[in-house]
Amino acid sequence: MPMAGFIKVIAGEMFSGKSTELARLVERALIAGLPVQVLVPAFSHRGSLRDVDERLARLVGRWTIVPVPDGAAERLDELVDRDALVVAVDEAQFFDRHLVTHCRRWRAEGRQVLVAGLDMDYREQPFGAMGDLMCIANEVVKVHAVCTRCRQADAFISHRLSAESAQVVVGEHNYTALCGDCYRAEGAAGIGYTRSMP
Ligand SMILES: [Zn+2]
Give start-end residues of each CATH 3.40.50.300 domain in the chain: 6-143
CA of 56 to the centre of ligand 1 (A): 31
CB 157 within 8 A of CB 120: yes
CA of 127 to the centre of ligand 1 (A): 22
pLDDT of 177 over the 80 cut: yes
pTM (whole model) above 0.75:
yes
Class of domain 145-198: alpha beta
Q: Which residues are catalytic?
A: 91
CA of 102 to the centre of ligand 1 (A): 37
CA of 5 to the centre of ligand 1 (A): 38
Select 6-143's CATH number: 3.40.50.300, 1.10.1070.11, 3.30.499.10, 3.30.360.10.
3.40.50.300
CB 154 within 8 A of CB 146: yes
Least-confidence region, from 67-81, 93-107, 139-153:
67-81
**What does the pLDDT look like over 120-131, one tens digit per residue?**
999 999 999 999
Pairing of strands 175-178, 157-160: antiparallel
**What does the pLDDT look like over 31-85, one tens digit per residue?**
999 999 999 988 765 544 566 677 777 777 888 888 888 767 778 888 999 999 9
Query: Given its phi and psi angles, is residue 100 left (phi above 0), alpha (psi -120 to 50 degrees) or beta?
Result: alpha
CB 146 within 8 A of CB 176: no
pLDDT at 50: 62
